[in-house]
């Protein structure tokens, strides 16, 4: 439940957004955001991201609307396909993720408008479903995306797009795909917010910050398409070594196998000055917001990073 306290600290220090991850076997993100809504007054509160498999879209509509009411209209629903392995471990199939996202977003918006919804989709169906209360508004839905087709869909149907990318080269490629969907929907330039969600660590000692995220850089590097690796001079032999280590030992002692290229492509970490420079490159790539996902598990360390972010990074970026 410490997440709510972090959002309160972030608000007190002048930050504008609090994004909470929805991890299948962690405390409920909606419970955490409910508490956060009570503790805060101004900061916007969002899921980054939840999914339409482990919770039905109707549950996202009712839970999100409740938090939106409690917070005075500060809730944002971040919705993506979800983590395949976690969802399937529950015995839930995860078919046709793009179609599932499209149908879910449509259902949620119709319910929030107060409609009685009968829906016969390819994956979802409803029969005369209407919320038993009037939502405050149709809250924004930001779609989480990675691959080209999902990015296009996100641009088409999302009020915003959350893209898990830390590198400006990859960012420009992702934004170009997103813009295809925005154009298809006939939306105006700038109408859809495009956000870079980055795995982040900051410390006065840059090596200490980088060591916090090396394990995650390894996990990401081992799972991305070959064309991404080729663009950043990450060799097949390096990836084979990562996968072999991950298969035998997990992330334990994997740091020596993580190269500078992996670290800089898949994470954003370093001293405050280094982080400012990296954030500026992402802004120049075309992102309207940078969602900094702090990678740490120690309470005091997270608080310290939030303070460094507010005091030594934000004053130097837009």
Q: How confident is the model at residue 142 (pLDDT cuts 50, 70, 90)?
A: very high
Residue with tokens 């309470």: 299
| CA–CA distances in Å: residue 249 to residues 86, 254, 300 | 20, 8, 28
User: How far, in Å, CA of 38 to CA of 17, rounded?
Assistant: 15
* Predicted confidence (pLDDT) per residue in 29-62, tens digit: 999 999 999 999 999 999 999 999 999 999 999 9
Buried b or exposed e, range 49-60, using 16+ CB within 10 angstroms: bbbbbbbebbeb
Residue percentage of the chain with pLDDT more than 70: 99
The CATH fold of domain 1-205+268-316: TIM Barrel (3.20.20)
* Predicted confidence (pLDDT) per residue in 220-231, tens digit: 999 999 999 999
Over range 173-177, report the average pLDDT.
Answer: 97
Q: What is the pLDDT of residue 25?
A: 84
Torsion 308-214-194-275 (CA) sign: positive
- For the chain, the average pLDDT equals 96
Over range 116-144, report the average pLDDT.
Answer: 98
3-state per-residue secondary structure call for the chain: CHHHHHHHHHHHCCCCEEEECCCCCCCCHHHHHHHHHHHCCCCEEEECCECCCCCCHHHHHHHHHHHHHHCCCCEEEEECCCCHHHHHCCCCCCCCHHHHHHHHHHHHHHHHCCCCEEEECCCCEEEEECCCCCCCCCCCEEEEECCHHHHHHHHHHCCEEEECCCCHHHHHHHHHHHHHHHHHCCCCCCCCEEEEEEEEEECCCHHHHHHHHHHHHHHHHCCCCHHHHHHCCCCHHHHHHHHHHHHHHCCCCCHHHCCHHHHHHHCEEECHHHHHHHHHHHHHHCCCEEEEEECCCCHHHHHHHHHHHHHHHHHHCC
User: How far, in Å, CA of 199 to CA of 258, rounded?
Assistant: 15
Tokens of 193: 């917010």
* Predicted confidence (pLDDT) per residue in 63-78, tens digit: 999 999 999 999 999 9
Q: How confident is the model at residue 1 (pLDDT cuts 50, 70, 90)?
A: low
Of 170-174, 185-189, 250-254, least confident by mean pLDDT is 185-189
Tokens of 188: 């105006």
Contact predicate 286/251, CB 8 Å: no
Tokens of 318: 């837009």
Over range 158-186, report the average pLDDT.
Answer: 97
User: How far, in Å, CA of 192 to CA of 94, rounded?
Assistant: 27
User: How far, in Å, CA of 257 to CA of 26, rounded?
Assistant: 29
């Amino acid at each position: 439940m410490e997440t709510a306290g972090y959002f309160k600290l972030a608000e007190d220090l002048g930050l504008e957004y609090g994004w909470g991850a929805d991890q299948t076997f962690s405390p409920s993100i909606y419970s955490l955001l409910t508490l956060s809504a009570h503790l805060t007054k101004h900061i916007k509160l969002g899921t980054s991201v939840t999914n339409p498999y482990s919770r039905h879209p109707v549950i996202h509509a009712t839970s999100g609307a409740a938090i939106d009411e409690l917070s005075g209209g500060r809730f944002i629903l971040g919705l993506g396909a979800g983590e395949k392995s976690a969802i399937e471990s529950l015995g839930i199939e995860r078919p046709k993720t793009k179609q599932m996202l499209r149908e879910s977003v449509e259902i949620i918006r119709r319910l929030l408008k107060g409609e009685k919804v009968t829906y016969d989709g390819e994956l979802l169906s409803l029969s005369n479903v209407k919320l038993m209360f009037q939502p405050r508004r149709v809250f924004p839905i930001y779609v989480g995306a990675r691959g080209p087709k999902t990015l296009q869909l996100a641009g088409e149907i999302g009020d915003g797009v959350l893209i898990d990318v830390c590198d400006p080269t990859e960012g420009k490629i992702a934004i170009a795909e997103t813009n295809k969907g925005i154009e298809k929907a006939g939306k105006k330039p700038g109408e859809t917010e495009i956000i870079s969600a980055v795995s982040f660590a900051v410390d006065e000692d840059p090596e200490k910050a980088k060591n916090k995220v090396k394990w995650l850089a390894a996990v990401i590097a081992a799972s991305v398409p070959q064309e991404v690796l080729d663009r950043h001079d990450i060799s097949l032999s390096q990836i084979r070594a990562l996968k072999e280590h991950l298969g035998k030992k997990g992330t334990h002692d994997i740091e020596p196998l993580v190269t500078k290229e992996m670290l800089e492509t898949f994470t954003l970490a370093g001293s405050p000055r280094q982080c400012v420079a990296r954030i500026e490159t992402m802004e120049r790539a075309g992102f309207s917001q940078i969602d900094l996902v702090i990678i740490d598990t120690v309470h005091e360390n997270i608080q310290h990073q939030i303070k460094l972010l507010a005091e030594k990074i934000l004053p130097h970026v837009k």
